[in-house]
Structure 1
């Protein structure tokens, strides 16, 4: 459903709701979660009925709908079908259904509910959803957020518009389920994509809740006279453990290495979060993670499938841009992002090793040819560009 039309419908139907939407579902169903989020975005009351343990209701549902799949959705007693049909309803098709629920009560005994109402009968949460399913659902919502509120180059965010987005509301609702995620069930590729995507959207979430830091000091401080660091404070509860932005970046994705101004590693040897940390630092993550500053790499979403190539492409794009790397053949100087200074240990012990890493991960271009020529003759000067820490807001 188009977000504009959804917002329009929400504005039109603000009166008392007489009826309800009944959603027949089973635990762990991604389509059911997506349908429920879409319905709740319309501000409609949803009765979410778990049919997995009620044979009578399931038999009735199969007979009534002619389908054994879930979800099956009813606006009062009007059956529309599953999530795919719901998501593709036009405004003209959706408006009378919403009006029906707003204005008319459900006919008596029109739809069967479980004979015994128990915590498992009408589903209040999604305990059985798998880690990979939730990760994919979150990524889809993040993609919708970005498509509407991210600049074409991925460098700027319309925070004001995003804060009012229906997709943002849906994301916040689904993010609650992170606390039940089984991180150890994720593959290496799934873990890599999941934590990159979560880091980037958590920065946005933190900015919207706490305000925008405008310089490096404010990035370290949430507010004046407060010694709690933003990146050490903003966090999600994932799989029963708290993960701050620092924990995600330096603990998980950098293989538990110290970050900027950190005296200790994020995770101690007895920390359960150490189990989900990558075995070795992944240098490519520095071109995928965005901390909300103008000089940060572009924001993208990442999928587990072929993530290696996705990260390679992100590195190539960053190094090709002038805020990533500049090669001056006349001065025999290579100017690079402060990222390489802050996290030099991830790219090599010496300037030569670091520059060779950069060379090996550049796309074929004139810049790469110039760098290769400089390195072949030695005596290359390395300098670091100023880092613009102003917030990457479109405003």
Structure 2
């Protein structure tokens, strides 16, 4: 259908990966109604004003000039009443927006921040490491029955520094401690101090690590974790913008693999190796690790290949990793160790982090159930892919939960059969949502969008006659 010429405008506020947003945009397009889309992933500063204006924290939010229509179901109700809908079209066709209509951001196109915004400030210790490599003191060392390849002793390092840098041994020890604190090197026994003795140390990039960002370390001063997280988020947004389907459910992995954006992202992941994540706030940790998890899954699917059976999936989530702040974090570590506050994951006999594990200090103090609607494992039954900002993480996670529960992948109702069918996510991580099926059903109800679907579930819960079942999970790859 040919687009209608409008004096006014239709504005739709969306987020990436929102199936309801996609549905609303298709409905508008079907009637030839041009619209301006404002992506709240890119304009998170608008969220509070929109919440005040509409009393809703779900998307899409649709305006015809100054008239707030509501969400996708509200739009579809308008469409069913042909006379009323034609009145709406006439209103926006014949009238300018007016002063009470939403004011658009200065640009609805994001100014992307990635490597072009990353300024490398040379780290003086990177030069020390380069000299250390050519010093001749790095070799293989045996301690008891263990052989540590490409390593050096504390004493040999101190002797070398005293000789080449012309400093005393106290200063040389401080330099060795800085190597550890800045994650250039570590004690092979994971001791926290640098010592002037036969203790064995190894440079981080000499570790035999399968991490996807392992190898040559960055020579730049580490960025603050929050700033690096934002750079990674914007780089990933650039990838998603070009290689995700409109509803965020399908990924063009081949296109990503050949793109300049992905090459830039992979290069930027080196900066994760020495970043300090221990000082991040709860909100910053949520956004940082959710974004890293989702990007790591895509990185792995491209460079390693997707898992195809139960055993391969277990290995995939347990071994695919990044080095972050000097430690290795697998997908399991990020999800269950960090974001679920060190709870056992599916099929795990033990918690991810032991009491002496330094990564335990990074973990959230309490689990966040909403992460399950943000983490994308690469399967078709996963939630849509989005990115998250620390500033608005709580609101964004709420929106993702509402969107997922609105979709048939997350939740379906059979009113006549008194059945609530949920994603397997609610079965696998039941303790995050409630101790019984009834508590899980109440949790789902309390996090649904205010609409007819929620009303129906509420009526079922009032009758105390709800059978909770769990839908099959489609593990096939979410590729285009």
Q: For residues 188 and 36 of structure 1, what CA distance do their matches in structure 2 show? A: 24
TM-score by length of 1: 0.67
TM-score by length of 2: 0.55
Q: Which residue of 1 aligns with 2:348?
A: 262
Q: Which residue of 1 aligns with 2:16?
A: none
Q: Which residue of 1 aligns with 2:424?
A: 338
Task: Confirm or deny: 8 A CA contact 1:293 1:388 kept in the other structure.
Answer: yes
State the Cα distance separating 1:218 from its structure 2 match. Answer: 3.3
State the Cα distance separating 1:34 from its structure 2 match. Answer: 2.0
Q: Which residue of 2 aligns with 1:6?
A: none
Q: Which residue of 2 aligns with 1:288?
A: 374
Equivalent runs, 1:306-345 vs 2, <5 Å: 306-345=392-431
Q: Which residue of 2 aligns with 1:34?
A: 116
Q: For residues 247 and 185 of structure 1, what CA distance do their matches in structure 2 show? A: 18
CA 1:275–1:36 in 2, change beyond 3 Å: closer, same or farther? closer
CA 1:163–1:381 in 2, change beyond 3 Å: closer, same or farther? same
Equivalent runs, 1:72-91 vs 2, <5 Å: none
The yes-or-no answer on 1:271 pairing with 2:357 is yes
Q: Which residue of 1 aligns with 2:51?
A: none
The yes-or-no answer on 1:196 pairing with 2:290 is yes
State the Cα distance separating 1:185 from its structure 2 match. Answer: 2.2
The yes-or-no answer on 1:248 pairing with 2:334 is yes
Deviations 1:72-127 (A, max 9, x none): xxxxxxxxxxxxxxxxxxxxxxxxxxxxxxxxxxxxxxxxxxxxxxxxxxxx7321
Q: Which residue of 2 aligns with 1:159?
A: 253
Equivalent runs, 1:157-196 vs 2, <5 Å: 157-196=251-290
Aligned-residue Cα RMSD (Å) equals: 2.2
The yes-or-no answer on 1:129 pairing with 2:211 is no
Structure 1 unmatched ranges of 5 or more: 1-29, 38-47, 53-123, 221-228
Which among 210, 232, 245 is matched to residue 304 of structure 2? 210
CA 1:184–1:319 in 2, change beyond 3 Å: closer, same or farther? same
Q: For residues 113 and 334 of structure 2, what CA distance do their matches in structure 1 show? A: 28
State the Cα distance separating 1:195 from its structure 2 match. Answer: 0.2
Q: For residues 35 and 296 of structure 1, what CA distance do their matches in structure 2 show? A: 32
Deviations 1:343-379 (A, max 9, x none): 0000000111111100000001111001000000112
State the Cα distance separating 1:51 from its structure 2 match. Answer: 12
**Higher Cα radius of gyration:** 2
Task: Confirm or deny: 8 A CA contact 2:117 2:231 kept in the other structure.
Answer: no
Q: For residues 141 and 31 of structure 1, what CA distance do their matches in structure 2 show? A: 7
Task: Confirm or deny: 8 A CA contact 1:284 1:315 kept in the other structure.
Answer: yes
CA 1:293–1:31 in 2, change beyond 3 Å: closer, same or farther? closer
State the Cα distance separating 1:35 from its structure 2 match. Answer: 5.5
State the Cα distance separating 1:32 from its structure 2 match. Answer: 9.9
Q: Which residue of 2 aligns with 1:4?
A: none
The yes-or-no answer on 1:392 pairing with 2:474 is no
Deviations 1:311-349 (A, max 9, x none): 000000000001110111100010000000000000000
State the Cα distance separating 1:209 from its structure 2 match. Answer: 1.3
Q: Which residue of 2 aligns with 1:102?
A: none
Which among 305, 319, 322 is matched to residue 236 of structure 1? 322
Aligned residues: 277
The yes-or-no answer on 1:378 pairing with 2:464 is yes
Equivalent runs, 1:111-122 vs 2, <5 Å: none
